[in-house]
Amino acid sequence: MSENMKKLTNADLRKSWLIWLNFCCLSNNWERMQNIDWALAMAPSLRKLYPNDDAAFAERLTAHMEFFNTQPTVGCAILGIVNAMEEEKANGKDIPSEAISSIKSSMMGPLAGIGDSVMNSLIEVILMSIAMTMAYQGNVLGPILYMIAWVAVSLFVSWYLMRRGYELGVDSISVLSSNAMARLVEGLTDVGLVVIGGLTATYVALSTSLEISVVDADSTAVQGVLDGIMPGLLPLGVTLLSYWLLAKKKVSPMALILILFVVGTVLSLLGIC
Partner 1 sequence: MQITFVQAVLITLFSVFSNLMFPLFGDIGGYFGIGRPLVAGTIVGAILGDIKTGMLIGATLNAVYMNSQAVGNVMSSDVTMAGYTATALAMAGGSDTAMALALSIPIGIFGALLFTAQNAVCVFVSHWCDKYAEKGDTRSMWIFGIIIPAIIFNAIRFLTTFPVIYYGAQYSSAIEAWMPEAVTNAMGVVGGILPAVGMALLLKVMVTKPSHWCFFLFGFIAYAVLGIGSVPLTILAIVVAIILDELRNKNSDDTLESLE
**Residues 216-235 close enough to bind partner 1 by CB under 8 A:** 230-232, 235
Longest dimension (CA), the chain: 101
Question: Closest CB to partner 1 among 84 and 199?
Answer: 199
Q: Residue 60 or 84: which CB sits closer to partner 1?
A: 60
For residue 70, is it left (φ>0), alpha (ψ between -120 and 50) or beta?
beta
Answer yes or no: are the C-beta atoms of 86 and 7 closer than 8 Å: no
- Which of 1, 140, 214, 217: binder of partner 1 (CB under 8 A)? 140
Name which position in 11, 25, 212, 225 contacts partner 1 (CB under 8 A): 25
Q: Which of 15, 32, 110, 163 binds partner 1 (CB under 8 A)?
A: 32
Cβ count within 10 A of residue 175: 13
Least distance between partner 1 and beta carbon 3 (Å): 27
Q: Is 254 in the site for partner 1 (CB under 8 A)?
A: yes
The rounded distance, in Å, linking the Cα atoms of 105 and 108 is 6
Q: Indicate the helix (H) or strand (E) that contains 194.
A: helix 179-203
Residue 58 half-sphere exposure toward CB, CA atoms < 13 A: 3
Query: Amino acid identity of 66?
Result: E
SS3 262: helix
Please tell me whether residue 221 adopts helix, strand or coil conformation. strand
Stretch that binds partner 1, among 5-13, 138-146, 165-173, 218-226 (CB under 8 A): 138-146
Single residue of 95, 130, 210, 222 touching partner 1 by CB under 8 A? 130
Of 74, 85, 132, 173, the one binding partner 1 by CB under 8 A: 132
The region of 5-13, 93-101, 110-118, 217-225 touching partner 1 under the rule CB under 8 A is 110-118
Distance of CA 110 to the CA centre of its chain: 13
Site for partner 1 in 40-79 (CB under 8 A): 40, 43, 47, 54-55, 57-58, 61-62, 64-65, 69, 72-73
CB of 4 to partner 1, least distance (A): 22
Beta bridge partners of 68: 33
